[in-house]
C-alpha cells in the first residue's frame, strides 16, 4: 500500500507543527532551569508572588553576592572544582593505562581481569557504602577531599577502562611495531604514541568523570558529613536548606551557581560526551 | 603513586623485548611486569572500593556497631532477623521496585519516540533538540530536586489554590507532603532527569540500521508502521537489551532525588532502600533509630545486594533468551 502523497504545502505545515511541538516540549523540558534562573534574581516578596512565572519584576543581583559570600557558596565552589579535577586526573591516568595493557598486551591473568571488568560493569553497586566508609576511616582519610576523590574515581574505573580498551583495540598495530623497531620501549610507546592518539577518548572519559563528580551527592555527603568546610556544592546546598528554610532566592542563586558551569561545559564539549556514551552501548 | 614510579623508571634503559616465553608461568609474569604496573592503579581502586566492599559488608552484619572504633557486640543473625521483620525495609524495597518498574518502561517509550523523531535525516536542528532534551542528565539530581521542590511549593500556593477554588482538586495539595502523591512526583522527576541517556542510546542504535533496509522495505510496499515493527524494532534488539539493563541498574540505586525531595517521608511513603540504609547507618530520619547502627544497615544492604544481583542475573538471562529466540525466528 503506497503512502498517500501529501501536497507540498500540507507537508510543510506538518513539519512546521513538528518543530513547534519539539520547541514547546523543549521549553517545558528546561522550564525548571529557566525558573531557577529567573527566581534567583527575584526579591523575596517577588519570589512568592511570582509563583511559576520565571521572569523577575526587578533584578536583584545581590542574591548572587549574598549566596557567594554569606552562604559560603564560594567555598563549596572551590571544593567542587578541586574534587572534580582530582577525579578527572585519577580516572584518566588509571583507566587509560589499564585500558591499554588490557587491549594491547598479553599477560597471565588477563582473562580474569577482563572478566572482572565485564561483570562489574553490570553489577549493581552503591549499596556497599559502609565497608568503603570503614576502609576510608581505617586509612585515616575520613573527612578529607582525598577520600572523596578516591572513592568517586574508583566508581568510574570500570566504565573508563572499558571505553579505553575499546579505543586502543581500534588503533593500528603496525604503529606500535614500527615504534618498537625504532627502539621505543613500553613506556615510550604508551606515553608518546598511544596516549596522544587517544585524545577523543581522553576527552570523553574526562568529561564523563568531571560531570559525574560535579553532580555527585551521596559520596561527598557521606565522607565529609561532619566537615562543612569540605562540602561540595550539592552537599552545601542540601545543608543550607536544612538550616535556612526561608532564603529561597538565595537557594535559587546557589542552584544556578551549581548547575550553570556544568551545563556550559557540556554544551561546548557535548560531542565527546555523547559519542562516548553512544559508542559504549554499541560495543 | 605508581605513576611517579613509572615516570622515574622510564629513564632507566629499556629491558630487552620479551623473547617468546615458554619457560613457565613465572617467566611470562616477569616479562609482562609493566603490564601489571600499568594495570595496578585501576586494579587496586576496583578491588578496594568496588569488589572488596561487596563481600566485606557481610562481616559487619553480625555485630551491633555504631560505626566508631571496632565493631562491638556480636549478635549473630539478629540483624538479619530484625531487617526481615521490619515493615519499613520491605516498604522501601516495594517503593524502589515501584520506582524502577514505572520509570523504566515510561522513560524508554518516551525516549524511543523522541529518538525516532530526531533521527529523521530531514529534520533540521536535530542536534539542537538533542542537546535541549539531554541537558537535565548532566545536572545534579540533588540540586534539581531542590529547585523542583521550590517550584512545587510555589505551585501549591498559587496554582494549587486556583485548582481548589475551581473545584478540580479537593483543597490544597501538598505534592511532596502527601503520602499518596509524593512517590508519583519523584518518579515523574526521575523520568525527566535521566531520559536523555536513553535518547542518546536509542539514537546510536537507530544509526546502526542501514538506510537500504528501509528503502528495500518501501519498494516492497511496507508502510512506516510496518517497517517500524519489521525493521526498527528487530534491529534495535541488541542495543535494547543493554539499555533496559542499564536503566534498571540506575533506577535501583535511586537516592539523591529522594533524599533531597522528601528524605523518605512523609511517614516513610517514599523511603527507598538506599535512603533506608543511609538512615540506619548515619541517622537523620525522623522515626528511624536515633543511634546509627552499621550492623543493621549492612544486613539491609547485603540482603538488597543479593536481591539486585539475583534480579540482574535473571534479567540478563531473560533478555538474552528473548533476543536469541527472535533472531533465530527471523532467520
Asked whether B103 and B244 are in contact (CB, 8 A), the reply is no
Q: Name the residue facing A108 among B29, B201, B223 (closest C-beta).
A: B29
Asked whether B163 and A275 are in contact (CB, 8 A), the reply is no
pLDDT of residue B302: 84
pLDDT surpassing 60 at residue B6:
no
Any idea which of B22-31, B148-157, B166-175 has the lowest mean pLDDT? B166-175
B157 burial (CB, 10 Å; 0-12 / 13-18 / 19+) is middle
Query: What is the mean predicted confidence (pLDDT) over A73-85?
Result: 94
* DSSP secondary structure string for all residues of B111-126: HHHHHHHHT-TT-TTH
Report yes or no: B14 at the A interface, CB cutoff 8 Å: yes
User: Which residue did the predictor score with more confidence, B124 or A126?
Assistant: B124
Task: Give the best residue of A63, A124, A158 to mutate against chain B (max B CB count within 10 A).
Answer: A124
pLDDT surpassing 90 at residue A11:
no
pLDDT surpassing 50 at residue B206:
yes
User: Which residue did the predictor score with more confidence, B151 or A88?
Assistant: A88
Any idea which of A88-92, A104-108, A239-243, B79-83 has the lowest mean pLDDT? A239-243
- The model's pLDDT over A104-159, given as tens digits with 9 standing for 90+, comes to 988 998 999 988 887 776 665 555 777 888 889 888 888 888 999 999 999 889 98
pLDDT surpassing 70 at residue B16:
no
Q: Residue B155: how many CB atoms within 10 A of its CB?
A: 18
Q: In the block, which residue shows the cell 613457565?
A: B24
Calpha distance A78→A232 (Å, rounded)? 8
pLDDT of residue A95: 96
Report yes or no: B214 at the A interface, CB cutoff 8 Å: no
Query: What is the mean predicted confidence (pLDDT) over A188-195?
Result: 92
Q: Name the residue facing B309 among A124, A188, A191 (closest C-beta).
A: A124
pLDDT of residue A118: 77
pLDDT of residue A88: 97
Asked whether B198 and B189 are in contact (CB, 8 A), the reply is no
DSSP state, residue B291: S
Q: A36: alpha, beta or left, given left = phi > 0 and alpha = psi -120 to 50?
A: alpha
DSSP state, residue B236: T
Task: Give the best residue of A76, A131, A210, A219 to mutate against chain B (max B CB count within 10 A).
Answer: A131
Helical H segments across chain B, by residue range: 2-10, 24-31, 33-46, 52-60, 78-84, 87-118, 126-134, 141-157, 159-165, 182-207, 211-219, 224-227, 233-235, 237-252, 256-261, 273-282, 294-330
Nearest to B238 by CA among B327, B107, B112: B327
Any idea which of A5-19, B157-171, B302-316 has the lowest mean pLDDT? B157-171
- Angle at alpha carbon of residue A251, lines to A249 and A255, rounded to 5°: 115
Q: What is the mean pLDDT of chain B?
A: 81
Query: What is the mean predicted confidence (pLDDT) over A241-249?
Result: 77
pLDDT of residue B325: 66
- The model's pLDDT over B44-68, given as tens digits with 9 standing for 90+, comes to 999 998 888 878 878 888 888 776 6
User: Which residue did the predictor score with more confidence, B37 or B32?
Assistant: B37
Q: Looking at beta carbons, which pairs linking B73-78 to residues 24 or more positions away fall under 8 Å? A: B75/B295
Query: What is the mean predicted confidence (pLDDT) over A15-28?
Result: 90
Say whether B141 and A217 touch across the interface (CB within 8 A).
yes
Say whether A259 and B144 touch across the interface (CB within 8 A).
yes
pLDDT of residue B11: 43
- The model's pLDDT over B287-305, given as tens digits with 9 standing for 90+, comes to 444 577 888 888 888 888 8
**ipTM above threshold 0.90:** no
Q: Residue A203: how many CB atoms within 10 A of its CB?
A: 17
Asked whether B38 and A98 are in contact (CB, 8 A), the reply is yes
Asked whether A207 and A273 are in contact (CB, 8 A), the reply is yes
Nearest to A257 by CA among B140, B193, B137, B192: B140
A residues 142-161 lying closer than 8 A (beta carbon) to B: 150-151, 153-155, 157-158, 161
pLDDT of residue B98: 95
Residues comprising chain A, all counted: 283
pLDDT of residue A90: 97
pLDDT surpassing 90 at residue B250:
no
Amino acid at each position: 500500500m503506497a503512502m498517500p502523497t501529501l501536497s507540498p504545502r500540507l507537508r510543510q505545515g506538518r513539519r512546521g507543527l513538528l518543530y513547534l511541538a519539539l520547541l514547546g516540549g523543549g521549553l517545558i523540558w528546561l522550564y525548571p532551569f529557566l525558573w531557577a534562573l529567573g527566581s534567583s534574581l527575584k526579591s523575596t516578596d517577588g519570589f512568592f508572588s511570582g509563583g511559576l512565572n520565571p521572569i523577575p519584576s526587578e533584578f536583584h543581583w545581590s542574591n548572587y553576592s549574598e549566596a557567594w559570600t554569606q552562604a559560603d557558596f564560594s567555598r563549596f565552589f572551590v571544593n567542587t572544582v578541586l574534587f572534580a579535577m582530582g577525579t578527572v586526573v585519577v580516572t584518566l591516568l588509571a583507566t587509560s593505562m589499564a585500558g591499554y595493557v588490557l587491549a594491547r598486551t598479553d599477560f597471565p591473568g588477563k582473562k580474569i581481569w577482563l572478566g572482572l571488568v565485564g561483570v562489574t560493569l553490570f553489577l549493581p553497586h552503591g549499596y556497599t557504602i559502609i565497608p568503603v566508609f570503614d576502609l576510608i576511616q581505617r586509612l585515616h582519610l575520613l573527612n578529607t577531599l582525598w577520600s572523596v576523590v578516591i572513592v568517586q574515581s574508583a566508581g568510574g574505573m570500570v566504565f573508563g577502562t572499558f571505553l579505553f580498551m575499546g579505543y586502543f583495540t581500534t588503533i593500528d598495530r603496525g604503529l606500535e611495531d614500527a615504534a618498537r623497531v625504532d627502539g621505543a620501549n613500553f613506556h615510550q610507546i604508551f606515553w608518546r604514541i598511544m596516549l596522544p592518539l587517544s585524545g577523543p577518548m581522553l576527552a570523553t572519559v574526562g568529561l564523563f568523570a568531571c560531570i559525574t563528580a560535579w553532580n555527585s551527592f551521596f559520596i561527598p555527603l557521606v565522607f565529609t558529613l561532619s566537615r562543612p568546610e569540605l562540602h561540595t556544592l550539592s552537599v552545601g546546598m542540601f545543608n543550607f536548606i536544612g538550616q535556612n528554610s526561608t532564603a529561597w532566592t538565595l537557594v535559587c542563586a546557589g542552584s544556578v551557581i551549581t548547575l550553570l558551569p556544568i551545563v556550559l561545559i557540556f554544551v561546548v564539549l557535548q560531542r565527546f560526551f555523547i559519542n562516548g556514551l553512544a559508542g559504549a552501548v554499541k560495543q | 603513586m605508581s605513576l611517579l614510579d613509572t615516570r622515574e623508571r622510564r629513564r632507566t634503559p629499556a629491558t630487552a623485548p620479551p623473547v617468546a616465553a615458554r619457560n613457565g608461568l613465572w617467566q611470562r609474569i616477569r616479562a609482562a611486569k609493566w603490564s601489571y604496573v600499568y594495570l595496578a592503579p585501576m586494579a587496586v581502586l576496583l578491588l578496594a572500593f568496588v569488589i572488596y566492599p561487596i563481600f566485606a559488608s557481610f562481616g559487619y552484619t553480625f555485630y551491633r556497631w555504631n560505626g566508631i572504633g571496632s565493631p562491638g557486640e556480636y549478635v549473630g543473625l539478629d540483624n538479619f532477623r530484625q531487617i526481615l521483620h521490619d515493615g519499613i525495609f520491605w516498604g522501601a524495597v516495594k517503593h524502589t521496585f515501584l520506582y524502577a518498574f514505572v520509570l523504566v518502561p515510561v522513560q524508554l517509550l518516551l525516549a524511543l519516540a523522541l529518538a525516532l523523531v530526531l533521527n529523521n535525516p530531514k529534520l533540521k536542528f536535530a542536534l539542537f533538540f538533542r542537546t535541549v532534551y539531554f541537558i537535565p542528565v548532566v545536572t545534579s539530581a540533588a540540586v534539581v530536586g531542590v529547585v523542583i521542590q521550590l517550584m512545587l511549593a510555589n505551585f501549591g500556593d498559587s496554582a494549587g489554590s486556583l485548582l481548589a477554588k475551581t473545584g478540580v482538586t479537593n483543597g490544597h495539595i501538598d505534592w511532596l507532603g502527601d503520602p499518596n502523591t509524593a512517590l508519583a512526583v519523584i518518579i515523574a522527576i526521575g523520568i525527566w532527569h535521566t531520559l536523555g541517556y536513553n535518547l542518546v542510546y536509542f539514537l546510536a542504535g537507530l544509526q546502526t540500521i542501514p538506510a537500504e533496509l528501509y528503502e528495500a522495505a518501501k519498494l516492497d510496499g511496507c508502510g512506516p508502521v510496518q517497517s517500524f515493527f519489521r525493521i526498527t524494532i528487530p534491529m534495535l534488539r541488541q542495543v535494547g537489551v543493554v539499555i533496559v539493563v542499564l536503566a534498571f541498574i540506575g533506577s535501583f540505586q535511586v537516592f539523591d532525588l529522594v533524599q533531597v525531595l522528601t528524605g523518605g517521608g512523609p511517614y516513610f511513603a517514599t523511603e527507598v532502600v538506599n535512603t533506608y540504609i543511609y538512615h540506619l547507618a548515619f541517622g537523620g530520619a525522623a522515626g528511624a533509630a536515633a543511634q546509627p547502627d552499621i550492623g543493621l544497615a549492612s544486613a539491609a544492604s547485603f540482603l538488597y545486594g543479593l536481591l539486585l544481583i539475583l534480579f540482574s542475573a535473571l534479567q540478563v538471562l531473560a533478555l538474552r533468551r528473548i533476543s536469541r529466540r527472535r533472531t533465530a525466528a527471523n532467520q
